Amino acid sequence: MKRFDMRIIFGFVLIFAGAMFLLQNLGLFYGGTDLLVSILLGSAGGAALYVYANNKENWWALIPGFTLIGVALNIALSVASSSLSNMFGGAIVLGGIALSFWMIFFTKGNSFWWAVIPAGVLSSVAVQEILENVMPIDGIFMLGLGLTFLFIARLPGYEDNLKWAYIPGGIILAIGVIQLSFIQSVMNILLPLALIGAGGYVIYKNFKN
């Protein structure tokens, strides 16, 4: 059986590029250049993932693989809808990078626990960006970052070596909870009531004595 020749793919890319430029020059299609760049970047990302698939020791290939695919999807989305790209494009790119680190952690095991940190940070930023365009909620990034450290602290097989993550995780999670909009609304009522109650108690104790 004849071995597959990569020149065939290169030939199809040239044909597609020529067709896109022709349609764009004729005014029948717009965004052909961006779409071509998207396909090239996506192909490069797929090639990186192919490197990883052939040898699982090449875990580093997951990072450029998913990153390039995320960028390619963002460019393709901008061609389809610029408004959607402005809303979710950044989250798609960040999500692609985050996915690469999650894949490194889940495929390589707990020995690569460090990958959880960039994965959690980037995932939190991506979710925060999506919610800012859909339903703005403060504190999501801090919640995600706090949960990331708590997740690290709970990893099995390290005994007490990763217990330090409880400290930043707990502090950051508490800050995130306080930043939540509905928590702030509740605190705006409870804090004045607490001060009134404390003042009344002091006065009561003074008259009782």
Tens-binned pLDDT, residue by residue, of the chain (209 aa):
445 455 666 677 777 777 777 776 776 666 667 777 888 888 888 888 988 988 888 999 999 999 999 999 998 888 778 788 888 888 999 999 999 999 999 998 778 889 999 999 999 999 888 888 777 677 788 888 899 998 888 887 766 678 888 888 888 888 887 777 655 555 566 667 677 777 776 776 677 66
Q: How many CB atoms lie within 10 A of CB 31?
A: 16
Q: Tokens 């090449």, residue? A: 58
Indicate left, alpha or beta for 139 from its phi (over 0: left) and psi (-120 to 50: alpha).
left
Rounded Cα distance, 127 and 69, in Å: 19
Q: How far is CA 39 from CA 14, 71, 108, 161, in A?
A: 12, 10, 29, 44
- Give the position of tokens 């590029």: 17
pTM above 0.95, yes or no: no
